[in-house]
């Protein structure tokens, strides 16, 4: 695996910082042992003062003993405060160091998006020439850093989407000219980071998806009744394109209709923890939006306990974590829900979803929902 010299230098620097941070712990442990001795002495002085008070010690001697005990207590309290502050500072530095080390390790596995798509422009030119179309490929975000494992897995689905755009989406030059569009069509491939995720889109300025034709195809294949299909929204209709073997192609060509549909693209993206959706405008084009994790090597997650077993939920799959009191959980038609920001949110027990024994109800503990 090729890693840049700068990345290795930064990793070495962070490793050195981590070593320095670790060497602070023995001295802190020694300080805690010293504090423990002071507390043991304080406990001894308190016992002495207690027995002295019960044994009739002269008041002046008892007062001196109590005064010494109080001074020892103040010293212990001050030392404990100092060590607590030192520990908080060290914890903050360690957290910052761990975050920087994590980011640098992730960066060492990254490659520019352009490294995985450099063969696509030629593929577009050759395919367009064969089909008698005029198509250009525009790539945006070539320097966007992508995990090398994800980049390798993206090659096949992106290739399929681009071929699909040329074959199905792009009109012939005379058709585009008649529609007052540039005779040369453009396919845009873009990659960018947003909200801790990798977003990759493949869009074209072609004819777009004919929703009327799509509705007819759904009914012809018996996938749904005509009255139900007529009520489906655009997003719901486009989801049918991801069904295995589903195609709106009128004929089989060298590039499409060979039983390799968009279901392969969706399956590949889901295997790496991502998702894909389609947007289209008739006469203006179609876009495929792929949302993927930044890396597959290290995944940050929230670990929860379900019926005594740990489960991890990736951060990228969590919108929000809230803790709810049991008296805030309501029931309607045998379904539980809570009100969050004025909206009712249905609840399902994780143990029920995972087919595990339900936990015993507890009045002291509050369930958490995400």
For residue 207, the tally of other CB atoms under 10 A from its CB is: 22
User: CB of 199 within 8 A of CB of 291?
Assistant: yes
How is residue 188 written in tokens? 């845009």
Q: What is the pTM of this model?
A: 0.65
User: CB of 114 within 8 A of CB of 302?
Assistant: no
What does the mean pLDDT of the chain come to?
82
Please give the pLDDT value at position 370. Answer: 45
pLDDT digits (tens, 9 = 90+) for 346-368: 888 888 788 877 666 555 545 55
**344 vs 108: CA distance, rounded Å:** 44
Helix, strand, coil share (%) of the chain residues, nearest 5: 50, 20, 30
**156 vs 126: CA distance, rounded Å:** 17
User: CB of 197 within 8 A of CB of 292?
Assistant: yes
**57 vs 62: CA distance, rounded Å:** 6
**34 vs 228: CA distance, rounded Å:** 77
pLDDT digits (tens, 9 = 90+) for 44-65: 777 777 777 777 777 777 777 7
**195 vs 315: CA distance, rounded Å:** 11
Side-chain-side CA neighbours of residue 30 (13 Å): 5
Please give the pLDDT value at position 258. Answer: 39
């Amino acid at each position: 695996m090729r890693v840049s010299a700068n990345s290795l230098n930064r990793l070495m620097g962070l490793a050195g910082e981590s070593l320095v941070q670790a060497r602070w712990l023995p001295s802190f442990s020694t300080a805690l042992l010293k504090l423990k001795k002071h507390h043991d002495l304080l406990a001894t002085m308190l016992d002495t003062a207690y027995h002295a008070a019960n044994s009739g010690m002269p008041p002046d001697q008892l007062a001196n003993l109590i005064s010494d005990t109080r001074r020892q207590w103040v010293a212990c309290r001050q030392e404990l405060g100092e060590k607590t502050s030192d520990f908080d500072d060290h914890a903050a530095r360690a957290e910052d160091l761990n975050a920087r080390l994590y980011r640098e390790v992730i960066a060492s596995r990254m490659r520019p998006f352009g490294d995985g798509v450099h063969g696509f422009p030629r593929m577009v030119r050759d395919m367009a020439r064969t089909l008698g179309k005029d198509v250009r490929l525009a790539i945006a975000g070539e320097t966007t850093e992508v995990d090398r494992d994800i980049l390798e897995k993206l090659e096949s689905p992106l290739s399929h989407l681009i071929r699909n755009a040329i074959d199905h989406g792009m009109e012939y030059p005379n058709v585009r000219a008649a529609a007052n569009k540039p005779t040369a069509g453009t396919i845009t491939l873009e990659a960018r980071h947003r909200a801790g995720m990798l977003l990759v889109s493949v869009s074209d300025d072609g004819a777009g998806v004919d929703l009327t034709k799509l509705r007819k195809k759904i009914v012809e294949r018996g996938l749904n009744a005509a009255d139900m299909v007529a009520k489906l929204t655009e997003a719901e209709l486009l989801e049918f394109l991801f069904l295995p073997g589903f195609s709106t192609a009128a004929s089989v060509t060298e590039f499409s209709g060979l039983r390799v549909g968009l279901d392969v693209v969706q399956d590949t993206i889901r295997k790496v923890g991502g998702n894909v959706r389609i947007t289209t405008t008739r006469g203006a084009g179609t876009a495929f939006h792929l949302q993927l994790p930044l890396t597959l090597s290290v995944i940050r997650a929230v670990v929860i306990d379900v019926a005594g077993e740990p489960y991890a939920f990736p951060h990228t799959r969590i919108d929000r974590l809230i803790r709810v009191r049991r008296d805030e959980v309501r029931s309607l038609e045998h379904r539980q829900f809570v009100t969050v920001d004025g909206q009712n949110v249905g609840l399902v027990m994780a143990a029920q979803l995972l087919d595990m024994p339900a936990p015993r109800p507890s009045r002291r503990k509050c369930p958490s929902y995400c």
